[in-house]
Amino acid sequence: MAESKEKFPQTPIVLKEPKWNEVWMGALIPEPGNSVLNNTGTWRVFRPIIDQDRCIRCLICWMYCPEPAIKILDKPYKTKQGREYKITLEIDYNYCKGCGICVQECPVKAIEFVEEVK
Ligand code: SF4
Ligand code: SF4
């Protein structure tokens, strides 16, 4: 025991405690919209990929996504079957954390979930 104390001498840690008026109120977000600063895409192990031809543009994935990761683009798309849409859905992989909720909720199974390759 004495030996380990010599190897790893204990140094006192001094924490500076904030004063009462320096602490943020609980559950307060001082900078709304600051989640865009967090690149949550680095956590991802699986990557969702939207099949644009199968997607029926119901936006359920967009509603359920917990991140700002599914973008609705003002970009027309014509499927191989000839259906025409005025929008295209795109996943922003900077924010998609690979939770798989969109894959689970898509009613027509238009989102494939593939292993992330770094
Ligand atoms: S996997 Fe999760 S974070 Fe990524 S797009 Fe789907 S719902 Fe959003
Ligand atoms: S839930 Fe599926 S069908 Fe609906 S918009 Fe998303 S990918 Fe397309």
| Residue 27 lies inside a defined structural domain of this protein | no
| Residue 84 lies inside a defined structural domain of this protein | yes
- Average pLDDT of span 101-118: 95
| Residue 96 lies inside a defined structural domain of this protein | yes
Q: What is the pLDDT of residues 51-85, one digit of tens each?
A: 999 999 999 999 999 988 999 999 999 999 999 99
Q: DSSP of 1-38, one letter per residue?
A: -HHHHHHSPPPPP---PPPGGGSPPTT--SSTTGGGGS
Of ligand 2's listed atoms, the one at least distance from the Cα of 58 is: 4
Integer Cα distance of 95 and 101 in angstroms: 14
Confidence tier at 6 by pLDDT (50, 70, 90): low
- Average pLDDT of span 86-102: 96
Residues lining ligand 1, judged by CB closer than 6 Å? 48, 65, 67, 69-70, 91, 96-102
Q: What is the pLDDT of residues 7-37, one digit of tens each?
A: 666 666 667 888 888 877 787 777 777 777 8
Summarize the chain as % helix, strand, coil (round to 5). Answer: 25, 20, 60
Range of the domain at 69: 41-115
| Residue 32 lies inside a defined structural domain of this protein | no
Distances (CA, A) of 118 to 37, 40, 41: 22, 15, 12
* CA 97 to mean position of chain CA atoms: 4
Instruction: Indicate if the pLDDT at residue 40 is higher than 60.
Output: yes
Of ligand 2's listed atoms, the one at least distance from the Cα of 59 is: 5
Look at the chain and report how many structural domains it folds into: 1
| Residue 69 lies inside a defined structural domain of this protein | yes
Reduced to 3 states, what is the DSSP secondary structure of residue 72? Answer: strand
What backbone torsions phi and psi does residue 41 show, to the nearest 5 degrees?
-65, -15
Confirm whether pTM is higher than 0.85: no
Confidence tier at 3 by pLDDT (50, 70, 90): low
